[in-house]
Copies of this chain bind each other. A is one copy, B any other.
Amino acid sequence: MTRPSGRAPDALRHVVLEPGVARHAEGSCRIRMGLTEVLCTASVETRVPPFLRGSGQGWVTAEYGMLPRATHTRGDREAARGKQSGRTQEIQRLIGRSLRAVTDLKAMGEMSITLDCDVLTADGGTRCASITGAWVALHLAFRHCLKMNVIASMPLRDQVAAVSCGLWQGEAVLDLDYDEDSKAQTDANFVLTGKGGLVEVQGTAEGEPFSEAQLLSLLKLARHGTEELFRQQRVAVGIA
């Protein structure tokens, strides 16, 4: 079996993390996974959503967007259409949940951090790349807060990264690009922590249902792929 991209089944695309690229943001990271390119910024604000006021606790949330021509054919600009698609909302909820899973919200105190993940070029795996890059942006933003004495200790308890896997002609392959994604029978996104815990598993059969054994082989690949992503995150924030 040769997968469409020609990569080995367990090969990630070329990954580049560029920390600190956004001039104004407290933390930022541009992540490239092959052709996919996402700009992640972390913005610190001193107020929290209404349901947390007076709780002494902070909040981490995310917004996701795609430039209209990030894709092969131009998509509608969501601002012009007047609403975010269901897909966009689903993705930004996932990113927010994933980052909160490794953040000690109490240690933040009452402040909010918004992670903006904007896709400059899309070639599959944009939600996973967003999570991986957003962790770097968030780490740098907390580092900034520490330096400013806004917080006393680092609220991040662990790393978090994500990767997609899929079944191609029955075999599990890692890190699908757009072409592979559209041909895969099953598409699964795994969000994992640095310590190996599962934060989120989303597996969807595009055609035939998949089996428990296949789910486990996908998860195995995801562990393998995120190991490399965790290593690069540590390099990017200088804790390697």
Q: Which residues of A contact B (CB under 8 A)?
A: 22-25, 28, 35, 39, 41, 43, 45, 63, 65, 67-74, 77-90, 92-93, 97, 101, 114, 116, 118, 120-121, 123, 188, 192-193, 195-205, 208-212, 215-216, 219
- Ranked 3 nearest A-B pairs via Cβ: A197-B209, A86-B89, A78-B79
Most buried by B among A71, A77, A202: A77
Rounded to whole angstroms, the CA-CA distance of A72 and B24 in the bound complex is 5
- Please list 16 pairs of residues, one from A and one from B, whose beta carbons are closer than 8 Å in the complex, sorted by A's number: A23-B121, A41-B67, A41-B69, A43-B68, A65-B67, A68-B114, A82-B82, A86-B86, A89-B89, A195-B209, A197-B210, A198-B210, A199-B205, A201-B203, A201-B215, A202-B203
Tell which of B77, B121, B205, B210 touches A24, judged by Cβ atoms closer than 8 Å.
B121
A89 to chain B, nearest CB (A): 3
Give 20 new A-B contacts, CB below 8 A, not counting A43-B69, A45-B74, A196-B211: A22-B121, A23-B121, A24-B69, A24-B70, A41-B68, A63-B68, A65-B67, A67-B116, A77-B116, A79-B84, A85-B89, A86-B92, A97-B204, A101-B209, A193-B209, A197-B209, A198-B209, A200-B202, A201-B202, A212-B219
